[in-house]
Amino acid sequence: MRHPADGEAWKEFDRTFPEFAADPRNVRLGLATDGFKPYGVLNQHHSTWPIFIFPYNLPPWKCMKKEYMMMTVLITEDPGRSIDVYLRPLVDELKDLWTNGVRTYDKSTGKMFTLRAAVMWTMNDFPAYAMVSGWRTKGYMACPFPDGYASNIARCVNVDGGKFTGLKSHDCHVFMQHLLPVGIRHLLPEDVVKPIIFLHKYDARDGSLARRGIACWSCQLSLDVSNRKASRRAEKKCTQQGKARRINYRGFGSI
């Protein structure tokens, strides 16, 4: 893929908004931001957050060049959770460009036309992504990506050691909700597999699941496990008693 226009996301956008895609003069934008400490170790408490917008209507060898990037906002402190306050004027202008557009002169035709713009995506590292999007990327209830999306889980598999290493929170969600149920359904009894699969689909943000029986499934799973442990203990005890009887019988026959 030489340009984002070759990607599926770009094509899906065209299919969803054909009126916007019909005019190649409409601008497709990307937004990026990150913080840095301009004074290095001399001042660890001061950080600067530039917010850039860049057009994707240019050829691939131009669209990421610095001369075509526009710094729309410069935040001279760590915005933290208040970054939406700093972004509010920019967001309002971008929404207006998407909804209403702006009258613009087309030099090639010598006529005015309504130029519209759309933000296709944002680019950030994980901390900045959490601040800009409002998603949790760490800690309790972290879920940085939409359901069903994950990174390359195969790179996290240690075949020799039988372990996973380097899984992100969204990787764990996809593994628990989609991959593990497939792996265990032929390894464990059905009455154990069903509660496990149900619990793996549980989302703590959706309280309705509790009303639909998560507590009952948890109790059922605990009961099934306890019963199986008791059954194994009883079976082991019977086996040991059987061995003892055989030893006694052999001993009695030798007298």
Pull the structure tokens for residue 40. Answer: 């290095």
Q: How confident is the model at residue 114 (pLDDT cuts 50, 70, 90)?
A: very high
Cα 210 to Cα 251: distance, rounded to the nearest angstrom: 60
CA distance 95 to 117: 9
Query: What residue segments make up the domains of the chain, in order of their start?
Result: 4-133, 153-245
At residue 104, the pLDDT reads 94
One-letter amino acid for residue 113 of the chain:
F
Model pLDDT, residue 252: 46
**Closest to 192 (Cα-Cα) out of 235, 215, 234, 222:** 222
Does this model's pTM top 0.75?
A: no
CA 18 to chain centre: 28
Which sign does the torsion angle of CA 155, 158, 164, 165 carry?
negative
Q: Report the C-alpha gap between 145 and 132 in whole angstroms.
A: 13
Least confident range of 57-61, 129-133, 156-160, 251-255: 251-255
Position 21 pLDDT exceeds 90? yes
Nearest to 51 by CA among 77, 87, 78: 87
Q: Which of 53-62, 99-108, 110-119, 206-215 has the lowest mean pLDDT?
A: 206-215
Q: Residues for the chain: how many in total?
A: 255
Say if residues 154 and 62 touch (Cβ distance below 8 Å). Answer: no
CB contact at 8 A, 145 and 170 = yes
Over the stretch 62-97, which tens digit does the pLDDT of each residue have?
Answer: 888 889 999 999 988 888 778 888 999 999 999 999
Is the torsion defined by CA of 6, 10, 12, 15 positive or negative?
negative
- pLDDT higher than 60, residue 169: yes
Rounded to an integer, the average pLDDT of 203-216 is 51
**% helix, strand, coil for the chain, step of 5:** 50, 15, 35
Instruction: For 121-132, write each residue's pLDDT tens digit.
Output: 888 877 777 788
Q: What is the pLDDT of residues 216-245, one digit of tens each?
A: 555 555 555 566 666 666 666 666 666 555
Tell which wins on pLDDT, 83 or 197.
83
